[in-house]
Structure 1
Amino acid sequence: MTNVQDDYVLSIQGMSKTFGRNRVLDHITLNLRRGSVMGLMGENGAGKSTMMKCLFGTYQKDEGTIVLDGKEISFSGPKDALENGIAMVHQELNQCLERNVVDNLFLGRYPKNAMGLVDEARMRKEANELFRRLGMTVNLSQPMRTMSVSQRQMCEIAKAISYNAKVIVLDEPSSSLMAQEVDKLFHMMRMLREQGISLIYISHKMDEIFEICDEVSVLRDGNLVMTKRTDETNMNELISAMVGRSLDNRFPPVDNIPGDPVLKVQHLSTKYEPHLQDVSFEVRRGEIFGLYGLVGAGRTELLETIFGIRTRAAGRVYFRDHLMTFNTARDAMDHGFALITEERKANGLFLKGDLTFNTTIANLDQYKSGLALSNDKMVRATNREIKTMNTKCMGPDDLISSLSGGNQQKVIFGKWLERYPQVFLMDEPTRGIDVGAKYEIYELIIQMAKQGTTVIVVSSEMPEILGITNRIGVMSNGRLSGIVDTKATDQEELLRLSAKYL
C-alpha cells in the first residue's frame, strides 16, 4: 500500500515564527503534491512572505519541520534551497540586466574546461537544450535589459529548471504581464506540471487561481485557514477565508454624484517618446474617471504629463479655468494635485525610512513649530493616517520596508491625504494588493469623490475599471480612442477601443 506521504514532494509541518511579541506564523501545516500547482492566497500581512522566507532559509523558523522528497531539510539560504531543488521566481526579478541570457543562466556556477577557463560552448549547448525542452525560442546573446518582463520571467523559470528544481515558487508572476503573456506563462506551467514539477503560485488574482491551480491554500493572520481543491470551492468562499468575513459585492456602491467639469485637458502631446498625441478630455468635480488601455498605450505617460514630470510638446491643462503650467511635480503639488505612481518601491517610498518619514515627507511645512520640524506633530499626523487607512503595523517607528505591499500602499495614500488634494491621479493603485485591502481602497476613493475630489484612476484590471468609475477614457497607442459611460459600456467595447489605433 502506498504511503500518503509519498504523494507529497514538499511537506511543511507546524511551522511557527515570532518577531518580538508578534506571532507571524502559527503552526502552519501545508502539503504540496507532486506534479501539481498549489495556489497560495491571503491578505497582505497574512504571513505568505514570512512562510516563504522560512522555507528558503532567509529566516530561521522557531518551530516545525520541512520535508522535501521524504527527507527533513533546513536551508541556510536561498542559494542552498536552489541547489537542493527548491527555486523561487520573485515578483521583482533578480537579474543582471546588462548581461545576456547565457550569463544570467549560469551566474555563479560557470562550467570550466580542462584548461580552467569558462566553457562557453558547453554553456550554449546546455542552454539550447534547456530552452528546447521548455518549448522556448530565445536569443542566447540578447542582453536581459532589452527583453520584455515576460521573456525575462521565462528565463528565470528556465534557470530554476536548470537546477533540477522539484518545486518552483512563483510570486505574483502575472502582475506586470499582458493577457497574452499570462497565457504563455500558464502554458509553461502546465508543461512543467506534466513533467512532474510542483509549483506554488502566489497571487491575489482569483480568476487566475481557478484557471491554473489544482488546490488553493489561504493564510489569514498567520494561520492556515483553508486548503481545498479549486474545483470544490468558489470565489466567495475564498474571499471569506481571506478577510474573515463575507464581502457580498466585490466593489462598494459607486454613489458619488459628479458636479461640473473642473479639469480640462486640451490637445495634449508630449515632446519625447513614448509620445502622447492630441489628447483632450474633461473631468468633473467629484468624479472618478478611469483610464484603460493595453500596456504601452500611454496611460502612465498621460498622468505624468498632467503632473508636470513629462515635457509637453503642445496642449494645455486647465483646473477651475486657470491654466496649469507645471514644470515640476512640486508645482503640481502646490496647486492641489497628487500622484500615486505605478512603481511604489521605485519612486513612491523611502524604503530606509520609517512610517513617520514616509507619511510626512510631502508636507513638511505643515509640521513645523517656528522654524524647526516638530516630531510630535509628525508622529500625530502619522498616527492619524494609520488609523484612517487601517494600516497594519506596530507603530509610526516601523520601517516602511517591514510592511506588506498593501500596507505600504496605504502609507502612500496617507501621505497624500495629509495634503488634502483636489485632483488625485492614481496609477494602478491596487496592484499587488489583496482583496480585503482593495475593498478598503475602493471605499476611500469613492469617499474622496463624494467629498469633491476629482480622481483619475489607471487600472489594467478590467473588472476594477468597470467597478469603481463613473466614466472611462480608453488609450490606444498614445491617443485617446474614446470616452464611455461606465454603466453603459462592457468589456468588449473597452477592448475594441484599446485596439483602435494599433
Structure 2
Amino acid sequence: MALDDVSFSLRAGETHALVGENGAGKSTLIKVLTGVHRPDGGELRLGGQPVRFARPFEAQQAGISTIYQEVNLVPLMSVARNIFLGREPKNRIGLIDFARMHREATELLDGFGIRVDPRKPLHTLGIGTRQMVALARAVSVDAQVVIMDEPTSSLEPREVETLFRVIGNLRGQGIAVLYVGHRMDELYRICDRVTVLRDGRHIHTGDLAGLDRMRLVSMMLGRDLSEVRRTGLTRFDGDGHDDGNGERRGEGRDKGNGEGRGEEDDAARTPERTPALTATRLNRRHQLHDISLSLYGGEVLGLGGLLGSGRSETAKALAGALSLDSGELTAGGRTLRRLGPAGAIRAGISLLPEDRKAEGIVPGLSVRENIVLAAMPRLSRFGVVSRRKQDRVVDIFMRRLRIKASSPEQPVGELSGGNQQKVLLARWLCLEPKVLLLDEPTRGIDVGAKAEVQSLIDDLAREGLAVLLISSDIEELIEGTDRVVVLRGGSVAGELEGDAVTESRLLEVLADHSPAPTGKAPGRAAQEDPR
C-alpha cells in the first residue's frame, strides 16, 4: 500500500518539511494533494473545507501549486509561454498579448535575479535556470499552498539564496510551503515543522528546531539511534567523526597518508602507477579551458565546483559525449582519437549522467530492459539476444544493488528515484568498465538510498575500478574521495589531496577568484600529475 492511514496537516504561513526514504510515500502524498491520484479513503481539506480533485488542474485552480524536482515544463516553448501557460494575458480581441506577457515575465524573473530573454526557448537554458523558471511560474499563481519537491537540487548557491528569500516572502503572505528535501542544512534553516514518512506510514510530525538531526535520520531509516550515531550520516568509510574543526572526516578512507585502514585494505586501494584515464589540456569553446586530470584504478577522484563550473561538461568530454576543440585523452596508455560514446564504451569508460530522467532511464521499458540496454551486443549471438543471459545478468545486479521492484518486468518509471539510479548503475556495471564517471549519483535520493550508492562506490573502487565522482555535496566529496579536482569557470582551480581534503580548504578554492595552490599528500610521485 503506497499510503496507509497517513494524517498530515499544513498550517498557513509555515514551511513544513516532508522527509522519508525513497518509497516512503512522499511522492504519493504529493500526488494525492495535487489531484494526480484519488485516495481510496480519508478526507482532504483545504482552508477548512473538504475538497476532491479529479485532476491536477482542479488542484491548481483551488490554490495548490507544485514545483517538481524534474522540471515539468514544455522545452520547445518560450520562457514566457511556460510561465503563463494556460493563463496567457489577452488583448481586447481575445488574442494573446505577447508584448504584455514578455514584459510581465521579465519583471517576474528580475525579482529572482534572472536575466534571460523571455522569448528564448526553454530547452536552450541550463537546468538551474529552468528550475528557477518553474519556481517563477509556481509563485506567480494565486496559491494558498506551494509544494516544492527538491527545489534546490539543480541550483547554485546564489539561486538557493534567492529561493529561500522567496520562501520567506511566501510565509509573510500567509502561504503554506510544503518542502520536500533531503539536505539537512536546508531543512533546519528554513522549515518550521517536519513530517516523517516510512513505508507509506506516518512516523512523526513535530517542530524541527528541537529535533536532533541524528534522531530525524533514525526515524527516516527505521534504524536504532545508536547505529546512526555509530555509522554517521553517510556510508562512506564506515565510522565518520568530527575532526575537532567542525569537519567530518571518515576514518575508513585513506586520504593519502595510509591512516585508517588495515594493511590488506590499504593494498587493495592504493592507486596503480599507470592512470586508467588521463585528460590533457581539454578545450571546448566557452565551456572547457585546458582541463587536465588523471584517474587511477582503485581510487575515487572527486570533481568539485559550483553550478556552471564545467563539471558535467568535463565528464561528458571524458565519455565521448561532448566534442572537443583540442586536447588529448589516454586510456591504459593508449591515445583515444575521435572518441564518441561508442568508442568510450569500447575503451572501458562509462558515464552515469546527472539528469537520469532525460539522459538515463527509458521510463516505458522494464527494469530488465533498462539494465541490459547497453549490453545487448554482448548478450546476442548472430543477432539473436539470449533471454537466459539477460535474466542471469539482471538477477545478479538486482541482488547486488538491492534494487527494489515487484519484478524485473516492472516499468522502471514506476520505481523511486533511488532505485532508478541503481538501475542505471547496473546498466553500466554489467559492461565491466575500467573507468566509471558518476555525475551527481546521489542527487534527489533519500539518505537511505544515498548511503547504499555511496557504499557501492567505495566497494567498486576497492575492486580496482577508477571512479570519478561529481557532487554538489561538500561532505560527500570530503568523505568519499581520495583526491578532489576543483573546477571554476571551465578551468582547473586547484587540486586537493590527502590531509588537504577538508571542508575549509575546499570552500577556499570554490570561493577564491584566483588559481588555488594544489594540496598534495606526502608520497605522491610528481610524474603522476599529467600536467
Shorter chain as denominator, the TM-score bin is: 0.7 to 0.9
Q: Secondary structure at the match of 1:250?
A: coil
Instruction: Say whether the 8 Å CA contact 2:351–2:438 is kept in structure 1.
Output: yes
Given residue 433 of structure 1, which amino acid in structure 2 is its aligned partner? I
TM-score scaled by structure 1?
A: 0.88
Per-residue Cα deviation, 1:424-444 (whole angstroms, up to 9, x for no partner) = 111111111111111111111
User: Hey, what does 1:269 align to over in structure 2?
Assistant: 282
The within-5 A match list for 1:397-412 is: 397-412=409-424
User: Hey, what does 1:217 align to over in structure 2?
Assistant: 195
Instruction: Say whether the 8 Å CA contact 1:426–1:458 is kept in structure 2.
Output: yes
User: Hey, what does 1:204 align to over in structure 2?
Assistant: 182
Instruction: Say whether the 8 Å CA contact 2:352–2:439 is kept in structure 1.
Output: yes
Task: Select 2:335's aligned residue among 313, 323, 330.
Answer: 323
User: Hey, what does 1:308 align to over in structure 2?
Assistant: 320
Cα distance in 2 for partners of 1:109, 1:432 equals 31
Cα distance in 1 for partners of 2:340, 2:289 equals 21
User: For residues 421 and 113 of structure 1, do their structure 2 counterparts lie closer, same or farther at Cα, with a shift above 3 Å needed?
Assistant: closer
Q: By how many angstroms is 1:307 displaced?
A: 1.7
Task: Select 2:161's aligned residue among 164, 183, 194.
Answer: 183
Instruction: Say whether the 8 Å CA contact 2:285–2:325 is kept in structure 1.
Output: no
User: Hey, what does 1:14 align to over in structure 2?
Assistant: none
Q: Secondary structure at the match of 2:4?
A: strand
Q: By how many angstroms is 1:406 displaced?
A: 0.6
User: Hey, what does 1:36 align to over in structure 2?
Assistant: 14
Number of residue pairs aligned between Structure 1 and Structure 2:
478
Q: Secondary structure at the match of 2:378?
A: helix
Per-residue Cα deviation, 1:203-257 (whole angstroms, up to 9, x for no partner) = 1111111111001111111111111211111221121111111433123312562
User: Hey, what does 1:87 align to over in structure 2?
Assistant: 65
User: Hey, what does 2:494 align to over in structure 1?
Assistant: 482
Instruction: Say whether the 8 Å CA contact 1:428–1:459 is kept in structure 2.
Output: yes
Q: By how many angstroms is 1:497 displaced?
A: 2.5
Instruction: Say whether the 8 Å CA contact 2:105–2:118 is kept in structure 1.
Output: no
Cα distance in 1 for partners of 2:173, 2:146 equals 13
User: For residues 299 and 178 of structure 1, do their structure 2 counterparts lie closer, same or farther at Cα, with a shift above 3 Å needed?
Assistant: same
Q: Secondary structure at the match of 1:29?
A: coil
Per-residue Cα deviation, 1:437-481 (whole angstroms, up to 9, x for no partner) = 111111111111111111111111111110100111111222222
Given residue 365 of structure 1, which amino acid in structure 2 is its aligned partner? P
Q: Secondary structure at the match of 1:64?
A: coil
Per-residue Cα deviation, 1:134-190 (whole angstroms, up to 9, x for no partner) = 787877854363666555545544444444211010111000001111111001101
Q: By how many angstroms is 1:285 displaced?
A: 2.0
Given residue 431 of structure 1, which amino acid in structure 2 is its aligned partner? R
The share of aligned pairs that are identical, in percent, is 35
Instruction: Say whether the 8 Å CA contact 2:131–2:155 is kept in structure 1.
Output: no
Instruction: Say whether the 8 Å CA contact 2:484–2:501 is kept in structure 1.
Output: no
Query: Is 2:4 the partner of 1:26?
Result: yes
Aligned alpha-carbon RMSD (Å): 2.6
Cα distance in 2 for partners of 1:487, 1:405 equals 34
User: Hey, what does 1:226 align to over in structure 2?
Assistant: 204
Given residue 451 of structure 1, which amino acid in structure 2 is its aligned partner? E
Given residue 183 of structure 2, which amino acid in structure 1 is its aligned partner? K
User: Hey, what does 1:363 align to over in structure 2?
Assistant: 375
TM-score scaled by structure 2?
A: 0.83
User: Hey, what does 2:256 align to over in structure 1?
Assistant: none
User: For residues 136 and 83 of structure 1, do their structure 2 counterparts lie closer, same or farther at Cα, with a shift above 3 Å needed?
Assistant: farther
User: Hey, what does 1:282 align to over in structure 2?
Assistant: 294
Q: By how many angstroms is 1:125 displaced?
A: 8.4
Per-residue Cα deviation, 1:282-335 (whole angstroms, up to 9, x for no partner) = 332201111111222222222222222222333333333222335221112122
Task: Select 1:347's aligned residue among 342, 359, 364.
Answer: 359
Which of 320-329 and 72-81 deviates more?
320-329
Which of 30-39 and 139-148 deviates more?
139-148
User: Hey, what does 2:248 align to over in structure 1?
Assistant: none
Q: Secondary structure at the match of 1:424?
A: strand
Given residue 278 of structure 2, which amino acid in structure 1 is its aligned partner? V
Cα distance in 1 for partners of 2:487, 2:73 equals 32
Query: Is 2:472 the partner of 1:472?
Result: no
The within-5 A match list for 1:44-63 is: 44-63=22-41
Cα distance in 2 for partners of 1:456, 1:135 equals 33
Cα distance in 2 for partners of 1:141, 1:303 equals 30
User: Hey, what does 2:389 align to over in structure 1?
Assistant: 377
Which of 405-414 and 483-492 deviates more?
483-492
Given residue 222 of structure 1, which amino acid in structure 2 is its aligned partner? G
Cα distance in 1 for partners of 2:484, 2:496 equals 5
Given residue 282 of structure 2, which amino acid in structure 1 is its aligned partner? S
Greater strand content: 1
User: For residues 107 and 326 of structure 1, do their structure 2 counterparts lie closer, same or farther at Cα, with a shift above 3 Å needed?
Assistant: same
Q: Secondary structure at the match of 1:226?
A: strand
User: Hey, what does 1:75 align to over in structure 2?
Assistant: 53
Query: Is 2:347 the partner of 1:335?
Result: yes
Q: By how many angstroms is 1:111 displaced?
A: 4.8
User: For residues 259 and 128 of structure 1, do their structure 2 counterparts lie closer, same or farther at Cα, with a shift above 3 Å needed?
Assistant: closer
Q: By how many angstroms is 1:119 displaced?
A: 5.3
Cα distance in 1 for partners of 2:210, 2:13 equals 19
- Structure 1 unpaired stretches of 5+: 1-22
User: For residues 230 and 260 of structure 1, do their structure 2 counterparts lie closer, same or farther at Cα, with a shift above 3 Å needed?
Assistant: same
Cα distance in 1 for partners of 2:131, 2:441 equals 23
The within-5 A match list for 1:104-115 is: 104-112=82-90, 115=93
